[in-house]
Amino acid sequence: GRGFESLPCYQPRESTQMATAPEPGVYPGISFDDYARWDAINHSVLRHFRKTPAHAYWEWTHQKESTTFQDLGHLIHFAVLEPERFAKEGPVVAPDVDRRTTLGKATWAEFVAANEGRAIVTEEDMRTLRGIQDSVMRHATAREALYGVGASELSLVWDDRETGVTCKGRLDRAAEIGGWPCIVDLKTTSKPATTHTFQNSVESYGYHEHAALYLRGAATLIPPDEGVTRKFIWLVAETEPPYCVRMFECDDAALDIGQKSIDDYLARFAACRESGAWGGWPDGVDLAGLPPWAYKRYDVE
């Protein structure tokens, strides 16, 4: 929303098979595998500075493409973000055949040939995909965010203003909720989407840092209207029955912490890249014991 919904379909000047990232801009219609090949920094790399620069360097130089079209997480994004295309090009359920037999092998080969290019999933996976789709359609706010004003699957490239580091991000959805511009990020969970459970995931996986980086990239490329601040919304889909969905807004305090972390990671990345030194854990011997919560059990300060 607010500038994203009317974007023309920009294309890089060179093939997206290149290692070099395209010029800064917003790129609709780019496959995930092509996006993954762009040599730019995203949160998947930066978050490893939570460990050491060596971990970040390894991730940067060994970034993986999507695991395959069969990946359930990928298919959930496909089902939720592009339901019409999913209906035509989405996965098919594997036939119940014994592929150890001659007849079973022949039946399987015929099935695969007839569905070339489509993912093959189990009945259970298909129930999950359909269940999440149905839950999204019943959730009025999710329906507005995903199928109202906006654009899905936008790949962003921008140069960080402070460090000059070329960054990238892939927005699941730029949308409006109640007329307010926001970025919607689809997450899945095998647990009930309670506030407590999801907040633990935010801290564990650095979702707030991810949100801060994406909001920064979006603001760099297409600033929101004066006096308006984009919100960052997580759409959380449960992958177990009854496949409920829930939406959370990233609060300002978490975003502030995320912004400071991103500032630190980018500064460290720029310094390491310039020096060529990507240090690991420090030399010497560190002290370790029980985690803080365990000492409380034993009344130890």
Q: What is the DSSP string of 210-252?
A: HHHHHHHHHHHHSPPPTT---EEEEEEEESSTT--EEEEEPPH
Q: Please tell me what DSSP assigns to residue 20.
A: B
What pLDDT score does 151 carry?
A: 96
pLDDT at 19: 63
The pTM of this model reads 0.88
* Token pair for 132: 């999440």
Give the closest residue to 164 by CA, choosing from 271, 59, 256, 261: 271
pLDDT of residue 15: 41
Number of Cβ atoms within 10 Å of the Cβ of 51 = 13
**Pick from 80, 57, 12: which is nearest to 271 by CA?**
57
DSSP-derived secondary structure letter, 41: B
Q: How far apart are CA 180 and CA 230, in angstroms?
A: 7
d(CA 272, CA 163): 12
Segment-wise mean pLDDT, segments of 10 residues, the chain, 301 residues: 48 48 94 92 96 96 59 92 94 91 93 91 95 98 97 97 97 96 96 97 97 97 87 97 98 98 98 96 94 89 75
In single-letter form, the type of residue at position 176 comes to: E
End-to-end CA distance of the chain: 51
Q: Give the pLDDT confidence score for residue 16 in this predicted structure.
A: 38
Quote the DSSP letter at residue 282: P
pLDDT at 7: 46
Distance CA 137, CA 135 (A): 5
Answer whether 143's CB lies under 8 Å from 115's CB: no
